[in-house]
Amino acid sequence: LWLWLWLWLWLWLWLWLWLWLWLRLWLWLWLWLRLAVAVAVAVAVAVAVAVAVAVAVAVAVAVAVAVAMAAVLGWDTNRRTLGVACLVDLRSSLPWMVESP
């Protein structure tokens, strides 16, 4: 009888130990998975913010270049365009800009 009780107790202790170890392993894996997901979300948000900032800077630079070109080259009221054609068409570059009213 004592041997049966001893074996029964030993079996229960082993089962509880294995259950505890499995639960600890799954908890550890779950925590690492949550950490990995949090890091992935943080990286995705950082990349999205960086792309948004890069687009905003590109738009600001494009607007600044357009304003600077308008200030330097002038506005052709006849063609309703910036005087950029003088840069492309070298045959009429300076006279067209100077003689334009």
pLDDT at 91 over 50: no
Average pLDDT, the chain: 81
**How confident is the model over 41-50, as a mean pLDDT?**
98
Q: What is residue 33's predicted lDDT score, i.e. its pLDDT? A: 96
Q: What is residue 82's predicted lDDT score, i.e. its pLDDT? A: 52
Phi–psi pair at 83, nearest 5 degrees: -75, 45
Token pair belonging to 15: 């089962």
Q: Does the reported pTM lie above 0.85?
A: no
The 3-state secondary structure of 18-31 reads HHHHHHHHHHHHHH
For 62-80, what is each residue's pLDDT tens digit? 988 887 877 776 655 555 5
